Amino acid sequence: MSTLVNVPKNRNLANSNSNQNFPMLTRLEDIINRELPSIFTTDFNTGPTLPKVNISETTDAFTIEMAVPGLKKSDFNIDLDHRTLSISTETREDSQKSKAAYIYNEFEYSSFRRTFTLPECVNDKKIKATCNEGVLSILLPKKDEAKQKPPRRIKIS
C-alpha cells in the first residue's frame, strides 16, 4: 500500500494573523462613524483549517510530516486505535490578561484532528513522533516480514 490516506487537494494552512480586510479601530469615534454591517460581513475565516501533510515511504518505514508552525510537542495528542492513527490539538489563549473593556479583540482558539488508516504492514509497537521547527514527524516502521527484500540470485542445482 503506497498511500496511507486519501487527502483532498483543497486543504490549506492559511495565514492566521492576516487581518488585512479588517479595519483598524483606534478611537471610539471611528466605531460610531463606521457602518457596523460592513465590519460584520468581512471574511473572518483567516485561521488554519487543516495543516498540510507529506507522507513518504521507504523500504523500512512510512513517514508522516505535518506543518504545524507555532505549536509545540505538548500541544498534540497522538492516539492509535487498532489501525487508525489520530493526530489532534486544541490550543486556547487565556483571555483574562486584561480586565479593561476592549474595542477590538481576537479570540485565540484553534483545533484540528487528522486521522490516518495505517496499512497492516506497520509495526505499531515502534511508532515514534518528534516535533521540531514547526514540523511534526511520525515514523511508522514496517514489520520485518513486510520490508522489501533486495533481489537475489537463485542457483540451479
Q: Where are the beta strands (DSSP E) in the chain?
A: 53-57, 61-67, 76-81, 84-92, 109-117, 128-132, 135-141
DSSP secondary structure letter of residue 69: T
Burial 115-145 (b: 16+ CB within 10 A, else e): ebebbebbeeeebebebeeeebebebbbeee
Q: How does DSSP classify residue 23?
A: P
Per-residue buried b or exposed e for 6-33, using 16+ beta carbons within 10 Å of the residue's own CB:
eeeeeeebeeeeeeeeeeeeeeeeeeee
Q: Output the nine-digit C-alpha cell for 99.
A: 480586565
Query: Which class is 51-100+108-144 in CATH?
Result: mainly beta
Residue type, 130: T
Q: What is the pLDDT of residue 27?
A: 54
Digitized pLDDT (tens) for each residue of the chain, 157 residues in all:
444 544 445 444 343 444 444 455 455 555 545 544 444 444 445 555 788 999 999 989 999 999 998 888 999 999 999 899 999 998 776 555 555 676 666 666 778 899 999 999 999 999 999 999 999 999 999 998 887 788 889 999 9
pLDDT score at 26: 52
Of 51, 41, 46, the closest CA to residue 11 belongs to 51
